[in-house]
Amino acid sequence: MKKSLKIISFLITTAILFTSCKSKMASEKDSFSKGADVGWLPQMEATGYKFYDADGSQKDCLQLLKDRGINTIRLRVWVNPNDDKASGHCSPEETVVMAVRAKKMGMRIMIDFHYSDSWADPGKQNKPAAWAKHSFPELLTDVYQHTYDVLKMLKKAGVTPEWVQVGNEIPGGMLWPEGSIDNFSQLAQLLNKGYEATKAVDPKMKVIVHLDEGNKNEKFRWFFDKATENNVKYDVIGLSYYPFWLKTDYKENISDLENNLKDMASRYNKEVMVVEVGGDYTLEENTKEMLEATIKAVKSVPNNKGLGVIYWEPQGEKSWSGYQLNAWLPDGKPSPALDAFKN
């Protein structure tokens, strides 16, 4: 009888441990963000572009992405954009519609504020036309109010984003010239207004500060040391990683990306995330391997501080967008490169 009780006890303990491990593994799997930025999607659909699965059946693009392991959708928002199919749209209202649609698919949401009427990136950080003649104190109010209003609209529609980017690829600052890194104290105030507006809508939303060239540690240390000196408030360091634009193969600098991710997490005690990544759509296997390596690099950050990896406009097929770093085939089907997100 005693032996039977020992066996039963052992089996119960084993079952509990197995369930616990399984639960932990599922939790870790669910918590890692595998994402796609799909700002072009509504315009693609409006112009009649059709999306197809590998078997040739027509499907919703978000479903195709979900089937390949994508669990997060990133959406840019512009202040007063024009209606150009590729460099317009993404207004606050359009962003809300898209966010609601993505949430209904079970996706997590990231909102990327450009604080511009069109693209903001390292080469251009143009103020919205409506803010062009505003004084610096007025710009602080603009950033706060715009951020607050958009996030409030989203929340009213039933979507509370998990992450909010205050600025898009801002190694040189944003809202030039007032928010240039030449005026870092002013840039810090603008970033903090975005942070404060986000937390006023919901303190659980995590605020991201985002730079390009995620493999360049010196660049990131300079910026985030200055951010620390100027008391910038944020939760997550966001990185872009595009070997294509660096004119290299990923094998030449993936270790630099990994080292920078780990350094950012430990040096500033922040979570880190690759919020933009992409590879040449014609090099399917290379792009898939690059994605696998990037995911591995982010997951290697200690203490679960590596949050995820987001592909920029994977569905933006070349014939529609002209964009080389999409991950879609000319016949309207997803590239096999996206299977990197399945694992």
Rounded (10°) CA dihedral 323, 42, 238, 151: 160
**Of 315 and 16, more confident:** 315
Model confidence band, residue 139 (pLDDT cutoffs 50, 70, 90)? very high
Calpha distance 103→159 (Å, rounded) = 7
> What are the beta bridge partners of residue 111?
75, 164
Calpha distance 258→306 (Å, rounded) = 10
Q: What is the chain's mean pLDDT, rounded?
A: 93
Calpha distance 90→313 (Å, rounded) = 13
**Of 153 and 22, more confident:** 153
**Nearest 5 degrees, angle CA 156-CA 141-CA 132?**
110
pLDDT in tens, 39-53: 999 999 999 999 999
Calpha distance 31→9 (Å, rounded) = 33
User: One of 94, 178, 271, 276 is an active-site residue; which one?
Assistant: 276
Q: Please report the pLDDT score of residue 147 as a whole number.
A: 98
**45 is annotated as an active-site residue:** no
Find the helix or strand (DSSP H, E) in which 110 lies: strand 108-113
Model confidence band, residue 84 (pLDDT cutoffs 50, 70, 90)? confident
- Examine the pLDDT at 28 and tell me if it is beyond 70: no
Grouping H, G, I as helix, E, B as strand and the rest as coil, residue 238 is: strand
Model confidence band, residue 20 (pLDDT cutoffs 50, 70, 90)? very low
**276 is annotated as an active-site residue:** yes
